[in-house]
Amino acid sequence: MHLDTPAIIVALLSHGEHGAVVRFLTPDHGLVAGYVRGGRSRRLRPVLQAGNEVALSLRARVDTQLAAATVELTRARAALATTAQALAVLDWLTALTATALAQEVPHPALYRTLDAIIDGIAAGAGPLALGEAIVRYEHLLLAELGFGLDLTRCAATGTTDDLVFVSPRSRQAVSAAAGAPYAARLLPLPALLRGGPVDAEGVRAGLTLTGHFLGADVLAGRGTDISVARDRAVARIVAAIAAPPA
């Protein structure tokens, strides 16, 4: 392996006394990992933070060997997540990326979207925007992994109007009329995923929707830590958007 690319740091694990194994999301090669010598040093600790963008060089003699990685910081963004909800969202989305994606499978749309979200976090995005970011990223990730939702027409009637539910079984939208008798068994379809406005109710509904399918299709069997990270991010977003303006 011989790779030079921009990358977003998404996970770090200490290795030995001084090094670190770091996972990176790249625009053209997907998720890659490398060993950073001195990754726990005073010089590199501020660089190797989830959310930072780096110029990454990976070198390995054989494909089965963990590559040696060198990094140069290009955008320091992790330290700009200054609110509890921003930090929780950054932790969750980078952890989800590192956990859910297979190694070296390109996901350029995920890279672009995560990069834009982290830019928003660094610029001080508010809780409503952060909640929308979680919903849209999770919705995209489901589609990228082959678990996409069909939100274009009603599963029962084929109509494209008044779609307000999603069937957990068919993964398709359901209209208000067709879904009314089964509303307790259906999931809410937020307007923001249909090109509608972004509001607190829609963000809460979106988090419920994508959370259901992530739990069933992506996070099952992954351990509790990853679910705890999502629960923390969602709880802080929901509390923040419910709080009265200062």
**Is the CB of residue 164 less than 8 Å from the CB of residue 141?**
no
CA pair distance 56, 74, nearest whole angstrom: 10
Task: Supply the pLDDT for residue 42.
Answer: 86
- Strand-pairing partners, residue 164, are none
Task: Supply the pLDDT for residue 245.
Answer: 66
In tens digits, the chain (246 residues) has pLDDT values of 799 999 999 999 988 778 999 999 999 999 999 999 988 888 999 999 999 999 999 998 877 789 999 999 999 999 999 999 999 999 999 999 999 999 999 999 999 999 999 999 999 999 999 999 999 999 999 999 999 999 999 999 999 999 999 999 999 999 999 999 999 999 999 999 999 999 999 999 999 999 999 999 999 888 778 999 999 999 999 999 987 765
pTM of the model: 0.95
Task: Supply the pLDDT for residue 246.
Answer: 58
Kindly provide the b/e burial profile for residues 75-104, where b requires at least 16 CB atoms within 10 angstroms of the residue's own CB. Answer: bebbebbebebbbbbbbbbbbbbbbbbeee
Strands 67-75 and 150-154 turn out to be unpaired
Instruction: Give me the domains of the chain, ranges plus CATH numbers.
Output: 2-78 (2.40.50.140), 80-242 (1.20.1440.120)
Looking at residue 103, the DSSP 8-state letter turns out to be B
CA pair distance 188, 185, nearest whole angstrom: 10
Q: What would the two tokens of residue 134 be?
A: 């979680």
Q: Say which amino acid occupies 25.
A: L
Name the strand (E) or helix (H) holding 25.
strand 19-26
3-state secondary structure of 219: coil
| Helical segments of the chain, H only | 84-100, 108-122, 127-144, 176-179, 200-217, 224-242
CA pair distance 223, 98, nearest whole angstrom: 14
Task: Supply the pLDDT for residue 100.
Answer: 97
